[in-house]
Amino acid sequence: MRRFKFSDSTSNKFWEVEVKSKTLNVTFGKIGTKGQSKPKDFATPKKAKAEMEKLIKEKTGKGYVEVGGKAVKAAKPAVGKKTSAGSMGEGLSKAEKQAKLLEEDLGKGVKLVMVLIPAGKFVMGSPKKEDGRYDDEAQHEVTLTKSYYMGKYAVTQEQWKAVMGKNPSDTKGAKLPVTDVSWEDCQKFIKKLNGITKGKYRLPTEAEWEYACRAGTTTAYSFGAKITPKDANYDDSGIGEPIEVGSYKPNNFGLYDMCGNVWEWCEDWEADYPKGAVTDPKGPATGENRVLRGGSFLNFVANARSSNRYNCSPSYRNYNDGFRLARNL
Identify the band that residue 3 occupies on the pLDDT scale cut at 50, 70 and 90. Answer: low
Higher pLDDT, 47 or 316: 316
Chain segment 281-296, per-residue pLDDT in tens? 999 999 999 999 999 9
- Number of neighbouring beta carbons within 10 Å of residue 265: 28
* Average pLDDT score over residue span 79-101: 43
Mean residue pLDDT across the chain: 84
- Domain spans, the chain: 2-66, 87-327
Higher pLDDT, 301 or 65: 301
Q: Count the helices and strands in the chain (H runs, E runs).
A: 5, 17
pLDDT of residue 81: 30
241, amino acid identity: E
Chain segment 107-142, per-residue pLDDT in tens? 999 999 999 999 999 999 999 999 999 999 999 999
Which residues are paired to 36 by β-bridges?
28
In this predicted structure, which of 9-18, 201-210, 250-259, 261-270 has the lowest mean pLDDT?
9-18
Identify the band that residue 312 occupies on the pLDDT scale cut at 50, 70 and 90. Answer: very high
Check whether 97 has a pLDDT greater than 90: no
CATH class, range 87-327:
alpha beta
- Number of neighbouring beta carbons within 10 Å of residue 200: 13
Q: Are 304 and 227 in contact (CB under 8 A)?
A: yes
For 220, residues 6+ apart whose C-beta sits below 8 A from its C-beta are 126, 130, 131, 132, 226, 305, 306, 307
* Average pLDDT score over residue span 79-85: 30
Helix (H, G, I), strand (E, B) or coil at 47: helix
* Average pLDDT score over residue span 168-192: 98
Residue 271 exposed, middle or buried by CB count within 10 Å (0-12, 13-18, 19+): middle
Check whether 88 has a pLDDT greater than 50: no
Q: Does domain 2-66 have CATH number 2.20.140.10?
A: yes
Q: Are 17 and 24 in contact (CB under 8 A)?
A: yes
Taking the C-alpha atoms of residue 322 and residue 173, their distance in angstroms, rounded to an integer, is 14
Helix (H, G, I), strand (E, B) or coil at 235: helix
- Number of neighbouring beta carbons within 10 Å of residue 45: 14
pTM attached to this predicted model: 0.72
Higher pLDDT, 51 or 113: 113
Relative to beta strand 263-269, strand 290-293 is: antiparallel
Identify the band that residue 26 occupies on the pLDDT scale cut at 50, 70 and 90. Answer: confident
Q: Are 230 and 307 in contact (CB under 8 A)?
A: no
